Chain A
Amino acid sequence: MSSNTPVLEMRNVDKSFGPIDVLHDISLKVNEGEVLCLLGDNGAGKSTLIKTLSGVHQPTRGEMLMDGKPVSFNRPKDAQDMGIATVHQFGGTYPLMSVGRNFFAGAEPTKGFGPFRIFDRQKANKIAVEQVQKFGITRITDGDRLVGGLSGGERQSLAIARAVYFGARVLILDEPTAALGVKQAAHVLRIVNEAKRRGLAVIFITHQVMHAMAVGDHFAVLIRGAIAADFRKGDKSREEIADLMAGGESMADLEASIGV
């Protein structure tokens, strides 16, 4: 395992939809056991970047590499097969299905044979509860519980645990803490740390600087489709990052302009 080769790398990637350039000359890399925080205001191109990473869009120019080898994803499934898992906010969970059924949706464990293969509920529940608990969600003990009854943080954790269990190497988390309260967000951040500890490469997309600073090793700030800053942990202060995200405008100016 050479830790010098990034698991996933983007080199000079452009993405345009017709005449509109959305991403411009993006170069990013993320190593095993590292959290890359992608910061950006609304409309900075974060979503397009995620979709390009997860195979929904194909780059117009530039290349993507996995373990140093060029790859191209035609469909999200291609990216998944390579071990890139994208977890959207509440994504991948079905509120009115049980924890066990959620965890194994699309990859159900079965017992029996032929046309009599049946969904192995007990096994599914057992593994699901085990895996979720390993991520520190000890409140989930019953695999038959409906996911709709879980908190936002727990659902997010379930989705992450699921991705890890099914062999994800790169975890793309799309605003996992955006709609969560302080406590729940802390929960999710702990899970991000746990994933990192297990050697996953995590790309953490957020616009909350505090959350990014709590877990990030490496930061990239996206402004109008281009990387405006790329730095490592401890290089910049919270205020500096916030200023960068606001498009270089200092927070103080912003406050002045709205008359605080």
Chain B
Amino acid sequence: MADPDTTETTSKDGFSLLSLFRRPEAGAAAGFILIFVFFSYFGWEKNFLTPLGSSTWLNFASKVGIIAIPVGFLMIAGELDISVGAMIPAGGIVLAMSVGLYEMNIWVGVIISLAICAGFGFINGMLVTRTNVPSLIVTLATLFVIAGLNAYVSKQLAGTTQHSLADVGVVSEFIMGDYHSLILGDGDSKFTIFRSLQSSFFIWLIFAIVCGYILHVSPWGNWIFAMGGDQESARNAGIPTNRLKIALFMLSAMAAGLVGMTEAVLANTASTTTQFGMIFNSIICVVVGGVLLTGGFGTVTGTVFGTLTFGIVFQGINFTTFDKDLNMLFIGVLLLVAVLMNDSFRNWATSASTSKKK
């Protein structure tokens, strides 16, 4: 890697293959391309690449993705949040009950729902920062507490665990939960940009940009990395680690609640069923995206790539001739390969730069 030519290019125009590989999301991007090409080939016959086919896995990815980004933040900061599994239905049923039972405006319901999720996130954060119990255990406990509350409160207030949520107006549906298509022209010359993408996809896109800004451009990002790298040093450097951590737990709780709300608006129904699958899914996306489980390293772009990869593997098998029962096996292998690959990329990132100047 200490190729003199490479070094020269870097210093001249700031771009080279080496500096590309040094980017932390390089591993996740490479993995995504690999998986994408693989499924494009094997899923060609069954329309994996068509706009409609793509929206299948993009819609799936968007929901995991919205949760994966803040969970990734927490992981970079050295923490985990698995209570999101119960926060998703909590967000949905609070919205459904606000609108259906108490006849509130949908946006008032959204705010109430977000506030309640933020409250749970605050409790998570307080418990983790005040007690020093590992966040895995704290959020495991709150996962069940919230799951219990979901069922109990909704039975007490509405007498059911399945809430219906009537259509809430064109604009709100458009923003929160609808299918969107963009088709240029018509007749034979029509060209489809995208088709049947859910609102959550666009929410994910905007959320990713905002979070990318926070993590990589704003000074707060530095605090999150520092906290995950060495919490004691970060505190000594004057970073308000406790407050920051609480804020991150609130963010992940609200993101999960938001996903629950988009699902409720889209499906016109909200259930109290705890989404245990989403806990693992979000963690897999983050890890495949190159975030270090022990903290201190990761990117939003990487997490987005990780989520896309996961979405393809999870949904893509339906487009191929492979047996669908192999789905879980694929995901397990993906996770292992991704972790090994990210490790190598990270090692290159640190060692490649050392050999730059001897």
Report A's interface with B, CB cutoff 8 A: 76-77, 80, 86, 91-97, 101, 104-108, 110, 117-119, 139, 141-142, 144-146, 148-150
Contacts and interface: CB of A to CB of B under 8 A. Distances in A.
A149 B351 contact: yes
B222 A108 contact: yes
A149 B226 contact: no
23 contacts: A80-B238, A91-B230, A92-B233, A94-B233, A95-B296, A97-B225, A97-B226, A97-B229, A101-B222, A105-B233, A106-B222, A106-B226, A106-B234, A106-B238, A107-B237, A107-B238, A119-B221, A141-B357, A142-B353, A146-B349, A149-B350, A149-B351, A149-B354
Interface in B224-248: 225-226, 229-230, 232-234, 236-239
Contacts of A108: 219, 222
Nearest to B346: A96
- State the majority secondary structure of interface residues on B: helix
A97 B238 contact: no
B236 A119 contact: no
A139 B353 CA distance: 11
A149 B353 CA distance: 7
A80 to B, nearest CB: 7
Contacts of B221: 119
A119 B233 contact: no
A145 B356 contact: yes
A97 B357 contact: no
A117 B221 CA distance: 12
B2 to A, nearest CB: 13
A142 B353 CA distance: 9
A144 B349 CA distance: 11
Contacts of B80: none
Contacts of A77: 238
B204 interface: no
A92 B236 contact: yes
B297 interface: yes
Contacts of A91: 230, 232-233, 236
A96 B354 contact: no
Given A96-B297, A149-B353, A119 B217 contact: yes
A96 B223 CA distance: 13
A148 B232 CA distance: 18
Given A105-B237, A106-B238, 7 more contacts: A91-B230, A106-B234, A118-B219, A139-B357, A145-B353, A146-B353, A149-B350
A97 B225 CA distance: 7
B357 A94 contact: no
Nearest to B240: A106
B172 interface: no
Q: Which of B22, B223, B292, B350 has the most CB of A within 10 A?
A: B350
B218 interface: yes
Contact of B222 (A76, A95, A105, A142): A105
The interface size bin for chain B is: 20 to 34
A117 B230 contact: no
B296 A97 contact: yes
Given A117-B218, A149-B351, A94 B296 contact: yes
Interface of B: 22, 217-219, 221-223, 225-226, 229-230, 232-234, 236-239, 292, 296-297, 346, 349-354, 356-357
Given A80-B236, A139-B357, A145-B353, A95 B219 contact: no
B234 A119 contact: no
A152 to B, nearest CB: 13
A144 B217 CA distance: 14
Given A92-B233, A96-B296, A105 B226 contact: yes
Contacts of A146: 349-350, 353
Nearest to A120: B219
Contacts of B232: 91
A119 B292 CA distance: 23
Contacts of A148: 350
Contacts of A145: 353-354, 356
A118 B212 CA distance: 12
Contacts of B354: 145, 149-150
Contacts of B22: 144
A96 B222 CA distance: 11
A213 to B, nearest CB: 30
A92 B237 contact: yes
Q: What 4 pairs across the A-B complex have the smallest Cβ distances? A: A94-B229, A106-B237, A108-B219, A149-B354
Contacts of A97: 222, 225-226, 229, 296
B219 A76 contact: no
Given A77-B238, A145-B356, A94 B350 contact: no
Given A92-B233, A118-B218, A145-B353, A106 B225 contact: no
Contacts of B219: 108, 110, 117-119
A108 B233 CA distance: 15
Given A91-B233, A97-B226, A107-B237, A118 B353 contact: no
B229 A96 contact: yes
Q: Which of A94, A108, A149 has the most CB of B within 10 A?
A: A94
Q: Which of A80, A105, A107, A139 has the most CB of B within 10 A?
A: A105
B353 A101 contact: no
Contacts of B230: 91-94
B346 to A, nearest CB: 8
Q: Which of B233, B234, B349 has the most CB of A within 10 A?
A: B233
A96 B292 contact: yes
